[in-house]
Each structure stands twice: as structure tokens, then as C-alpha cells.
Amino acid sequence: MAKQDIYQSVTNAIITAIENGQTGDKFVLPWNRCSALPQNARTEKQYRGVNVPLLWAWQIERNYQSGIWATYRQWQDMGAQVKKGAKGVQIVFWKTVTSEPSADNQEGETRMFARWSTVFNADQVDNFNIEKPDFEPCEIQSIAMADALIDSTGADIRHGEANAYYNAGQDYINLPCPEEFKETKTSTATQNYYSTAFHELTHWTGAKHRLDREAHKKYGDNIYAFEELIAELGSAMETVH
């Protein structure tokens, strides 16, 4: 793969992450996920540089529960096996090459070249025990009026994944389990749970058979931005109410 292809691959992954609402170290998910740096299963070393946001982005995009990665051969060396059909993620590493000495440079010229390697997440591997990250489950304080409002909508709300989204095609909302939510600098765990629930419920209201808001064609377009603004305002008003 050419150098420009490596750079473009990394750039595209990070742009996609930003378009999906991830904004680097200024953004903190209000539930326990991706809190630790990505780590190599074989060397137990943490990834560095651009590989950190890159692997974070893919972990969230593909809903992996683990931040552990390794190459196909590294997994094999550990007695594990990458599942058939699993798609890896390309990361970047730098290789140093020193040229032969010349009349102008008797020590030779040292250059660094970007190379790529494909890694697979622990969720894609058999015969490897994934250790769940340590965290203290939060006890969300029930707010009777908020619960009554949520129940009155009749929305199909599920807690099957550690992610928050509205599935327009199947008309259901997924939220992380309440105990997964945590306190942030601006909000309690309880506030984060309910504000996230109302954000997704506001998206839910825009379905064709409800308020019939215009659907966006791609992440980041004007319609997408407007819909996110509606969801944030809806969440804020319901939370204050």
C-alpha cells in the first residue's frame, strides 16, 4: 500500500468518527466504554499516536466491547484464532531505513517510512478470554415523572448494546444499561442516563409515521446537523421539565 493510501485510510476513519459524534479528547461518553487506551494483546503495550483515536473509532463503530488488539499471527502465537470472515483494521507504524554511505554523507541518510499492519479486536477471536474493564456500577436514581413520560411514548427501548442510537429501519431505541452510565464533569450519572434517553426518544419522534421529519442522506450533512440539534433541544427541554 502506498504512503498516501495509509494516510488517506487513517484520515477517512477519523473523519467518519467525527461525523458520528466523536470529537477526540474533548468528548467523553457518559457511560463506561473506551475508557482505556487500546492495547496489544501480545506485547501488552498500549498503542500510541494516531492509532489511539483510530482504534477507538473502530471499536465504537463496530461495537466491540474490548480495547485489545493484535495481528493475525500474534493471535495465533497466543493460541487464539481469528474468526472466519473477520475484517481487520489497518494501523500505522513507522519503519526506519538508512541508506548506504555516500561521498556527501559518509554515515548514510536515515529516513522514516509509514507502513501499515492489520489488527483484529479480541471480540473477533476464539480461545481468548476477554477481561471486562473494572468500573463501579452506578445506581441511577429513578425519576418518577421522567419514567412515566418515557413509558407513555410506547417506544421500543432495548438495552442490548453498550451504545445509544435510534434504529429507524426497525423502529427501536437502544441504550446502554443504566448501571453503565457514569458521572461526568457537568452531569450526574442519573442526568446522563435520562438526557441520553430523551435524546434518542426525540429522534424516535421523527419517524415517517410520527412527525415525518426529513431523513439525512449522509452523516454530517445539513439535515443530519439539524436533526441532532432537534434531539439536543428535545432532550434539554424534557430534562428540565
| Average pLDDT for 181-200 | 89
- Could you tell me what percent of the chain has a pLDDT over 90? 37
| Average pLDDT for 215-236 | 83
Q: Contact, 46 vs 5, CB < 8 A?
A: no
- Across 6-15, 63-72, 80-89, 127-136, the highest mean pLDDT is recorded for 80-89
List beta partners, residue 110: 98
Confidence band of 25 (pLDDT split at 50, 70, 90)? very low
Residue 1 has pLDDT above 70, yes or no: no
Give SS3 for 129: coil
What's the chain's average pLDDT? Answer: 81
Q: State the fold for domain 144-240.
A: Arc Repressor Mutant, subunit A (1.10.10)
pLDDT at position 37: 75
CB neighbour list of residue 212: distance below 8 Å, 6 or more residues apart: 206
| Average pLDDT for 124-142 | 77
Task: Tell me which residue has cell 471486562.
Answer: 132
Q: What are phi and psi of 120, to 5 degrees?
A: -125, 145
Residue 181 has pLDDT above 50, yes or no: yes
Confidence band of 14 (pLDDT split at 50, 70, 90)? low
Q: Name the DSSP letter for residue 104.
A: S
Residue 2 has pLDDT above 50, yes or no: no
| Average pLDDT for 53-57 | 82
Q: How far apart are CA 193 and CA 239, in angstroms?
A: 10
CB neighbour list of residue 213: distance below 8 Å, 6 or more residues apart: 205, 206, 227, 230
- Please measure the distance between the N-terminal and C-terminal CA atoms of the chain and give it in whole angstroms: 55
Q: How far apart are CA 178 and CA 192, in angstroms?
A: 10
The residue extents of the domains of the chain are: 3-126, 144-240
pTM beyond 0.75, yes or no? no
Residue 113 has pLDDT above 90, yes or no: no
Q: Which residue did the predictor score with more confidence, 33 or 85?
A: 85
pLDDT at position 17: 60
pLDDT at position 150: 95
